[in-house]
Structure 1
């Protein structure tokens, strides 16, 4: 589009880098700079997940970066569940999934951006749009704690809802061959984790529990070493002697957190637009954060090059992506509530419990007895489909 020539991306995560790549591929004349506050090679977290749909989309949009991402990804075709001392349950996954180290993903995208002529400036923290004078477009993709968004929180209508459960995002040298769930019963309640491989020698391991269990086990007064030690004992059978790791490449220790679901009434202010976690977050249990961030990037590029002026392009982007994100956030809220209601499901026969784990996105599940829901789902193939037939207004039948 004619009125966007110089672009500043604030934040060098997947969203910002992929946006810069696609903008340059669409029109090499764009002058694009990505500003990242961390040093090169430094990032929080461990591995990220993505699924077949994103895999295929990336190959269609930019095959070169997609091939590099695929080559460094670990793929799994099965899910495995360990429920206390019961025998493990192995289930074939219908479509499989992928894991890749967050640091490796960022390196691939940064290299691709550089090859296309994008400038990536590390250790460059932007705190105000005034520092980016002359930019036709400023893309705030600096995460859930976005500085640029917070400067105008009233304008954006930022709201944050805290999840009830607490979680901690860890790494481990145990490489899981399947996407693995483990649920452990303690005198203070259930604690659980899920893990997935993301490289040949590392996996992500996310641990979660209710606040009552967290406090009962003493995590509220434990330091990092003591917390990791106790978690290693609680999941000893799963880890096979491998350690849990709390400190990432950015040097920061892992912390227990309540997940923050972030929404904004609007995603734009003048030539400033929000993208990725700066605009929205979805509970980690659905594994959609990376896919949604990359989807934001791709659609924003499409909007900018299919609308004649910046204001109409940003309005188009906001309208269409907010609709997509609302659906994802509804599913994520239902998934989070499933885990918050774990005692309702965890004592079911393993096959039923795991089947309902796969149905945790359902808005209907909390309102039906779990065994009844499972029975209906087995009989009709999809309770959601059955409910749509029963609840549809008579005028539409």
Structure 2
């Protein structure tokens, strides 16, 4: 059945949904409305993992191949604490520039017949006529805000300050750097997203932010302070503040958004308009694309729109529970950094990797580290025994047969 869809917001979620719906039925009439000019996106690079890429190859191989081709990858993490460093192997991860990601998805959507309308802001007052209106317009969604009471929107503001920057330093691993100042600790997360650029997110407690004068510094002066503090990991490369022509980079407090329900009549929330998760788990883009997959699947499975939207909401709410919990504990780990930073670097980095644990805040860090190591060794022993058992059994059986000859 031909359906008319108006998708408000030209980010990853909205564009990928339009691709999937057109692949399901080319007769669907789909328009993506984006308030900004084409190519004027904010932000630097985004991260994702192999699991997402495998899913994307299933749902639209062409865009997945382009995404993989234009991504950089790494499988190690390195943490710098004062003048010490430790490096660990991890899962395969990818980085891609947000601008390139949107370029790939927009090009694919156009090739399938999706209409893209840029510099076209949609509000509740000029909603296009459509069978389905998708609010994919981000955490500040105008469509959701207009009906905030119905959606039951709640926003919790985090304590720490952070700023999203770029740099010409190309990190070879996911890089953490923790620097002690006279006003407390400040740290950054860095990862490459292309052959010449990396993302660098800087975070600190509010008292550190104001103590360093970052609350009053203009962009140039603030970047100079940060370049000096992170000189070792930047290795002479500059930090870049402005990611678009619209405004300077801003220090922010992360806003965690939840909604009691995700749909109202023929209006449905998608991506950051429906939920946000703290940037320290690196899941924002992944969750947005997975929302699109789930909504397209529900619309393909159910002919009645109310049933499809209810199915989509139930499915995604259930799938989000674990990652939302992990994000909350991850944010708390950084907000309580002094509790962990005095550990030896290898132990601190191990607990950095365990920051999603709901148990960690309630157990002394050194004790938790010992328990975690013991549990890991026990699991390794179990795996060895599972591997060894059949081999021993075959050997005993062979000897028994030989003794009967």
Range class of TM-score, shorter chain: over 0.9
How far does residue 13 in structure 1 lie from its aligned partner after superposition? Answer: 0.1
SS in 2 for 1:177: coil
Match of 2:119 among 123, 127, 130: 123
SS in 2 for 1:220: coil
Q: What residue number does 2:398 align with?
A: none
Is 1:5–1:136's contact at 8 Å kept on the other side of the alignment?
yes
Match of 1:46 among 34, 44, 47: 44
Q: Are 2:324 and 1:329 aligned?
A: yes
Q: What residue number does 1:84 align with?
A: 82
Is 1:280–1:325's contact at 8 Å kept on the other side of the alignment?
no
CA–CA distance in structure 2, aligned partners of residues 58 and 27 of structure 1: 18
CA–CA distance in structure 2, aligned partners of residues 305 and 161 of structure 1: 34
How far does residue 249 in structure 1 lie from its aligned partner after superposition? Answer: 2.7
Q: Are 2:265 and 1:303 aligned?
A: no
* Compared CA separation, residues 319 and 290, structure 1 to 2 (3 A): same
Q: What residue number does 2:234 align with?
A: 239
Give aligned pairs, total: 379
Q: What residue number does 2:309 align with?
A: 314
CA–CA distance in structure 2, aligned partners of residues 202 and 302 of structure 1: 36
Q: What residue number does 2:334 align with?
A: 339
**RMSD of aligned Cα (Å):** 1.3
SS in 1 for 2:352: helix
SS in 2 for 1:258: coil
Q: Are 2:137 and 1:162 aligned?
A: no
Q: What residue number does 1:201 align with?
A: 196
Q: What residue number does 2:16 align with?
A: 18
How far does residue 382 in structure 1 lie from its aligned partner after superposition? Answer: 9.1
Is 1:376–1:383's contact at 8 Å kept on the other side of the alignment?
no
SS in 2 for 1:357: helix
- Residue segments in structure 1 that go unaligned for 5+ positions in a row: 385-397
Q: What residue number does 2:99 align with?
A: 103
How far does residue 320 in structure 1 lie from its aligned partner after superposition? Answer: 1.1
Q: What residue number does 2:401 align with?
A: none
* Compared CA separation, residues 382 and 326, structure 1 to 2 (3 A): farther
Q: What residue number does 2:139 align with?
A: 144
Moved over 6 A (4+): none
CA–CA distance in structure 2, aligned partners of residues 162 and 168 of structure 1: 15
Q: What residue number does 2:148 align with?
A: 153
Q: TM-score scaled by structure 1? A: 0.94
CA–CA distance in structure 2, aligned partners of residues 65 and 256 of structure 1: 33
CA–CA distance in structure 1, aligned partners of residues 101 and 40 of structure 2: 12
Q: What residue number does 1:294 align with?
A: 289
- Residue segments in structure 2 that go unaligned for 5+ positions in a row: 380-405
How far does residue 229 in structure 1 lie from its aligned partner after superposition? Answer: 0.7
Deviation string, structure 1 residues 201-249 (Cα, Å, up to 9, x no partner): 0000000000111111111111111111100000011111111011113
* Compared CA separation, residues 382 and 314, structure 1 to 2 (3 A): farther
How far does residue 327 in structure 1 lie from its aligned partner after superposition? Answer: 2.1
Alignment map for 1:51-66 (pairs within 5 Å): 51-66=49-64
How far does residue 129 in structure 1 lie from its aligned partner after superposition? Answer: 6.0
Q: What residue number does 1:394 align with?
A: none
How far does residue 383 in structure 1 lie from its aligned partner after superposition? Answer: 11
CA–CA distance in structure 2, aligned partners of residues 154 and 320 of structure 1: 23
CA–CA distance in structure 2, aligned partners of residues 121 and 383 of structure 1: 57
CA–CA distance in structure 2, aligned partners of residues 172 and 188 of structure 1: 25
Is 1:377–1:383's contact at 8 Å kept on the other side of the alignment?
no
Q: What residue number does 1:177 align with?
A: 172
SS in 2 for 1:190: strand
Is 1:43–1:250's contact at 8 Å kept on the other side of the alignment?
no
Structure with the greater alpha carbon radius of gyration: 2
